[in-house]
Amino acid sequence: MNWVRAIAGVLVLCASTAWAATLTWTANSEPDLAGYRVYQCSQQPCSQLSGNGSLLATLGTGTSFNIGTPAVTQYYFITAYDFGNNESGISNLATFTPAGSPPPVVPPPVIPPPVVPPPVVPPAIGVSPTSLSFTASQGGANPATQTVSISNQGGGAFSWSANDNATWMTRSPASGTGNGAVTLSVTTGTLTAGSYSATVTITATGASSVTVPVTFTVGTATVPPPVTPPPPSPTAPPTPGGLHISAVQ
């Protein structure tokens, strides 16, 4: 018998009843056959050299073995041995899976976390200066213009507009895109002496409006002093009477 070769025949696992499973194989025809050895593994690889196989039973020349009903998946192979205890190579591998056993646990695929876009920062209106003051005299020249700078203190697109609530004030320009400025002019006109208040309101899409207070103080017109006429020139004294000679022909 050539004990180096694998055992003749095929190892088959049969579960003919609900309470037991049986290994069967084709008988070895060597004349010095003494019997068979049944090995069991709880995981693969399963062989004598893998370190996972353990001897389950040493049998005679029968060609079947009842393994019962293991609770977990098991793997089996057999070898043949002669009267000199020489052992053949291993048979094919038979697998027993309990009825109703859950399928092997497959770890779920690793799903990367969703990419969260950065938050959208809305625009925010910034103005400088935050208030304005004009001064003029009644009926006098108009004061110099003043400028309010407008900037975006937030993010995103920035389109703004400017509005005022005074008839004595004008603004230019009335709207813009991005950072800019509004020039304000006030007109004394027929305003009487006193203090006048108004506001310039800056608005932009997606931003809170900003109000710039404006004060216009009109002083009393300066009255020039009355013109005093110069004193009259002194009158020359009368010339004394003199002789008047008339020529007689």
Average pLDDT over residues 226-235: 69
Query: Residue 244: pLDDT above 90?
Result: no
Domains, the chain, in order of start with CATH, read 12-96 (2.60.40.10), 125-219 (2.60.40.10)
For 199-218, what is each residue's pLDDT tens digit? 999 999 999 999 999 999 99
Q: How many CA atoms lie within 13 A of 90 on its CB side?
A: 17
Rg (CA), the chain: 59
pTM exceeding 0.75: no
Q: Within 10 A of 81 (CB to CB), how many other CB atoms are there?
A: 21
Residue 10 clears pLDDT 70, i.e. is over it: no
C-alpha distance from residue 62 to each of 4, 23, 26, 70 (Å): 21, 11, 10, 22
What CA–CA distance (Å, rounded) separates 148 from 199? 12
Token digits of residue 136:
């003029």
- Mean pLDDT, residues 182-195: 93
Calculate mean pLDDT across residues 141-158: 94
Whether residue 92 has pLDDT greater than 90: no
Contacts 24+ apart (CB under 8 A), 71-75: 71/98, 72/42, 72/98, 72/101, 73/42, 73/97, 73/98, 73/101, 74/40, 74/41, 74/42, 75/40, 75/41, 75/42, 75/43, 75/44, 75/46
Share of the chain above pLDDT 70, in %: 81
- The whole-angstrom separation of Cα 214 and Cα 188 is 14
Is the pLDDT at 243 greater than 60? The verdict is no
Question: By the 8 A CB rule, do 185 and 159 touch?
Answer: no
Which pLDDT score, from 0 to 100, does residue 241 have? 55
- Comparing 3-12, 43-52, 61-70, 194-203, which segment has the lowest mean pLDDT? 3-12
Residue 147 has pLDDT above 90, yes or no: yes
Nearest to 167 by CA among 147, 187, 145: 187
